[in-house]
Amino acid sequence: MDLSELRKEIDDIDRDLVQMFEKRMALCQEVAEYKIKTGMQVLDRKREVEKLEAIQQMADSDFNRYGVHELFTQIMAISRKLQYQLLADKGVITGLPFEMVPNLQKSRANVVFQGVEGAYSHVAALQFFGEKAKVFHVKTWDDAMKAICAGTADFAVLPIENSSAGSVSDVYDLLVKYDNYIVGETFVKVDHVLLGLPEAEISDIQTVYSHPQGLMQCSRFLEEHRELTKYSTSNTALSAKRVQEEKDITHAAIASEMAGSLYGLKVLDRNIMNSRGNTTRFIVVASRKMYVADSNKLSLCFETNHENAALYNMLSHLTYNGLNMLKLESRPILGRPWEFRFFVDFEGNLGDAGVKNALRGILEEANYFRILGNYYTDKGKNIDENK
Ligand SMILES: C=C(O[C@@H]1C=C(C(=O)O)C=C[C@H]1O)C(=O)O
């Protein structure tokens, strides 16, 4: 037999396979209609496990047993995706009661941030809500979350990620702890300087205060000045305040120039950061499940079974619906060592058919699932990376 004859036979088989595939999908569509009527779940794990076992029995070698297992795992996943599409089309999307709003009521908003005046969160709040916004501060990120739950604030502004130090993991955990939602985001350029008392010189400094992120973002500078003792504080601006209050010429803070001028400190050194384009992304959080009409980014959180391909299967719902993933983060689940909760950001709007379809799939197949928000992002267009 020559190659072209072999390929012709393969082509014939493939044609049959496609026809069989289409027949199978048509039946799955009927199954979906039955499920919609009866309120049954799309995923039936027991049936899928039994099917995979039965199919493996039909194959005649280990290699083929493995192959058909792979093949039918995918066929059934596609079958489920078809069913979710149908459910989403028929409006059967429970668990997504997000209210669409034309815009956020920014001008009358009461906004909370963590830290003290001059903190980068303060800068972020003014940038997002405008210079005249009513802002107040609390001691911890947890307090900020509580303030919006209690209604003393309409919005909280919290840092979620820095371009050189990475994710702010505590804030991820707080998004799970509280029933609050991301309704916006804003990017702030972080320009740390070394601040001391007006009479201090850099040679006087022995102790440096800053938030752990501030210390991390200036780690190269601190490595070059190993003689300095580093102290973590809960906020960069608070460290500037502390230097002002302690009146010790040997103390300095790593904070913004704005914090320095607020607390009467002198800039002892600039350009102390590891990377020049150092930017922090802040999220704006509210207690209402709402999204603005032009939202273009979603954040989700889910837990899966601790088994082979579990994450891959969850993410396949995004791939299959052509959704562009922007970020994947994981956090440990307390009480279940070495198991993780996943956080995914991707592009889209809750009104998009592809988004509804993907959410329906993840909602059914994850052990725990929450939409953390659908909001508008300008992707940090205001940031000049070269300055
Ligand atoms: C088609 C069904 O829905 C899903 C898909 C399956 C399949 O493609 O064989 C099997 C079980 C379900 O998870 C069904 O319930 O039979």
What pLDDT digit, counting tens, does each position of 120-149 carry?
999 999 999 998 889 999 999 999 999 999
- Report the alpha-carbon distance of residue 83 to residue 185 in Å, rounded: 34
Q: Which of 208, 237, 269 is the last residue of a domain?
A: 269
Assess whether pLDDT exceeds 90 at residue 104.
yes
240/237 Cα distance (integer angstroms): 5
Catalytic residue among 113, 282, 342, 346: 282
Q: Is the pLDDT of residue 94 over 60?
A: no
pLDDT tens sequence across 266-282: 999 998 998 878 899 99
Residue whose CA is at the smallest distance from ligand 1 atom 15 = 44
pLDDT digits (tens, 9 = 90+) for 282-328: 999 999 999 999 999 999 999 998 888 899 999 999 998 999 999 99
Q: Rounded CA gap, 159 and 186, in Å? A: 9
Cα 136 to ligand 1 centre (Å)? 53
Name the residue with the closest Cα to ligand 1, atom 1.
28
Burial of 141-154, coded b for 16+ CB within 10 Å and e otherwise, reads bbebbbbbeeeebb
Distance 38 CA to ligand 1 centre (A): 15
Is 304 a known active-site residue? Answer: no
Atom of ligand 1 nearest to the CA of 83: 3
Determine which residue's CA is closest to atom 11 belonging to ligand 1: 44
Q: Whose CA is nearest to atom 16 of ligand 1?
A: 31
Better-scored residue on pLDDT, 330 or 165: 330
Q: Which helix (H) or strand (E) holds 365?
A: helix 353-365
Global pTM reads 0.84
Q: Report if residue 162 sits inside a domain.
A: no
- d(CA 194, ligand 1 centre) in Å: 62
Q: What average pLDDT does the chain have?
A: 93
Last residue of a domain, one of 269, 287, 303: 269
- Strands 340-347 and 325-332 turn out to be antiparallel
Q: Which one of the listed residues 233, 279, 280, 304 is annotated catalytic?
A: 280
Instruction: Name the domain count of the chain.
Output: 2
State which amino acid sits at residue 111. Answer: V
Going through the chain in order, the beta strands assigned E by DSSP cover: 99-101, 110-114, 134-138, 155-162, 166-167, 181-189, 192-196, 207-210, 229-232, 251-256, 266-269, 279-286, 290-292, 297-303, 325-332, 340-347, 368-376
pLDDT over 70 (residue 95): no
269, 291, 308 - which closes a domain: 269
pLDDT in tens, 23-41: 999 999 999 999 988 888 8
CATH code of the domain containing 35: 1.20.59.10
**To test ligand 1's pocket by mutation, which of 43, 79, 365 has the most ligand atoms within 8 angstroms of CB?**
79
59 secondary structure, DSSP code:
-
**Which DSSP string do the residues of 250-305 spell out, in sequence order?**
TEEEEEEHHHHHHTT-EEEE---SS-TT-EEEEEEEESS-EEETT--EEEEEEE--
98 is catalytic: no
Structural domain contains residue 40? yes
Ligand 1 geometric centre to CA of 26 (Å): 12
Burial 343-368 (b: 16+ CB within 10 A, else e): bbbbbbbbebebbbbbbbbbbbbbee
State which residues form the domain around 79. 1-92
Written as one string, the DSSP assignment of 111-139 is: EEEESSTT-HHHHHHHHHH-TT-EEEEES
